[in-house]
A and B are shown apart, each in its own frame.
Chain A
């Protein structure tokens, strides 16, 4: 281990990430290199000061009580599937009875469906903010760019309102090619995967969004909507409020 390695990994060392052998190599270097030793000592002291500056705090008692109440509510809500409160008004009354049974089934499924690969990757990429292959000036430019690169039609969804296509890049969903797009809607970002629905499975509880049938997953705070339109698969996720995302998708073309 040389001085540069020590500089690179001094944090890992002090954070206890080194295994025994690495630890010994580094200790040996520090033994004979006074400049690295000074640096290590400084970093260690800095760490001590940092820890001292962040003493543990106790949650207020009122929080404990209010969490208890919130959990009571959550429990009670589960007894009545939540779509009956939020979605019932959208149903055609004649079909309501039959749909209720189906939807109640899905409402239970919602709790039981683990996030699938597509939903998980949507969220991961949404958070990663990778550089784009093409800066979008128009949907046509994006279509042109991908026309000879992926084996399916790339039709970026046209969201209503003030949504602006930001950029696009090639992606892989497992071994299948896909296209990743980002949009900006006001303060929020929207990520979209476009893929071949024959190759990439969508899963999750079904919701009716506008005229679309959408597979909907909530994965640790992020909503992911997956649907097919004109033979193309779409997975849409965003940091915006799920209800706003529903509206956005409902009015997309």
Chain B
């Protein structure tokens, strides 16, 4: 049976999965930060996906599933690097947009121009690569691959609320990096310490939970 079905399965797999090769490689490259390891990761993941491909029918979200396999395979093979997760778990209590917006610019640029400056963009790429793994995965899936929160939750195997929190913290870490860099480079002058208002409560909770409370209030 397997023998008979295998040719068709191979064709179906190539048709469904291989169009995502570039996207998978892009994700792998940013997870592993190494071209050879990225290529190996993509290849291992695709073979794994192929072995399980019978579970997926045409029309289902193959892309999200392939990413899930890729991310899991990455976590399994690169486990040693996961130690950095703990570092990032410490809460960051400052709001960086405040600092950015209230910072005096030195070069006469406005903060948005600083943000979009090529050098800052370059720095941002580095900062993404330095993000702790779990935040990096969430940010990449959202900002690079445009997956929905639900899909990211599925891919990372965690609740939507956790996705939101990882995105929030990951982006905040990036903003901190960017802010420090902009100050360092003399794009902007550090703002006099802004009031670090209650940011703990501004961490997003699950959108569904929020919707329910709103619903009750009418």
Contact = CB atoms under 8 A, between A and B. Distances in A.
Contact of A63 (B25, B100, B174): B25
A221 B48 contact: yes
A42 interface: yes
A8 B210 CA distance: 10
A75 B6 contact: yes
Chain B interface secondary structure, helix, strand, loop or mixed?
A: helix
Contacts of A73: 47
B152 to A, nearest CB: 10
A246 B35 CA distance: 32
A58 B22 contact: yes
Interface in B96-137: 97-98, 100-101, 111-112, 115-116, 120-122, 124-125, 128
A123 B21 contact: no
A124 B158 CA distance: 8
A53 B29 CA distance: 14
The bracket for how many chain B residues form the interface is 35 or more
Contacts of A50: 124, 128, 139, 143, 171, 174
A187 B80 contact: yes
Interface in A59-82: 59-60, 62-64, 66-67, 70-71, 73-75, 78-79
Contacts of B168: 11
B143 A54 contact: yes
A168 B47 CA distance: 35
A113 B33 CA distance: 35
7 A-B pairs with the lowest CB-CB distances in the bound complex, closest first: A59-B25, A221-B72, A53-B124, A7-B202, A42-B97, A53-B125, A53-B121
